[in-house]
Homo-oligomer: A and B are copies of this chain.
Amino acid sequence: MHIPRLLINFKAYVESSGDRAVEISKSAERVWKETGVLIGVSPNIIDLRQVSSSVEIPVFAQHVDPIPAGAYTGHVPPSLVKEAGARGSLLNHSERQIPLRHIAESISIMRDLKLISIVCSPTPSESAAVAALSPDAIAVEPPELIGSGIPVSKAKPEVILSSLRSVRVVNSAIPLLCGAGISSGDDVRAALELGSYGVLVASAVTKSPDPQRKIRELAEPIASFTRA
């Protein structure tokens, strides 16, 4: 199971919806081919199928409900996400918080379906809590830095270090992505040096005048770092 080192959250931005969702995903695919860095994209659910059928890189939903297929109006079961071509889903993003039980149940349903679960968490202790549920990866994002342009890897390196330590106590095998405010190659390098497996970004790419160049800038330090 391949966890992306660079995961791009498209949120519900106009700039990364519809045809633009496909374009940015193709840019990410190109950078993956150039650099060998595994890049994932997480488009809005409305674009999930189209993006999944347009690129080879792994595509992630932004949220799933802990339900089977069935009589659930206005809900998205993991099985339909899989059928649409996605390889996994984000869960519990700070913009879409869910009860502890839903996190646990969604991870379990996704594991049975061989979907990759990447659970978001704002703090070291919540990261450790999530680790106890054995998701495939954890994305640490202090919410006060999301969208701020102030990179967590520089503003709050202790959150990453402490999350790594806390998660390791519970389950040392779970890779940690770090997010919030990551917007340059330097930010990515700092995150990797602190021990992150990879990074989760959003506006830095989706709002960039040249998304492909930005994706390349973010992927290059990962390529150097993982080669080293």
Contact = CB atoms under 8 A, between A and B. Distances in A.
B129 A125 contact: no
A100 B101 CA distance: 8
- Among A63, A74, A94, A129, the most chain B Cβ lie within 10 Å of the Cβ of A74
Given A101-B126, A104-B129, A126-B101, A95 B71 contact: yes
A81 B46 contact: yes
A14 interface: yes
Contacts of A11: 70-73
B44 A47 contact: no
B132 A170 contact: yes
A128 interface: yes
A117 interface: no
Tell me the number of copies of this protein.
4
A166 interface: yes
Contacts of A130: 100, 129
Contacts of A100: 92, 97-100, 103, 121, 126, 129-130
A131 B128 CA distance: 9
A125 B99 contact: no
Contacts of A90: 73-74
Contacts of A92: 99-100
Interface in A14-49: 14, 17-18, 44-49
B132 A12 contact: no
A101 B98 CA distance: 9
Contact of A132 (B74, B76, B166): B166
B97 A45 contact: no
Contacts of A104: 123, 125-126, 129
Interface string A61-98: 01100010111111111011101100000101111111
A13 B71 contact: yes
A134 to B, nearest CB: 7
13 contacts: A11-B72, A12-B80, A13-B70, A18-B80, A18-B84, A45-B76, A46-B48, A73-B202, A92-B99, A92-B100, A128-B133, A129-B132, A132-B132
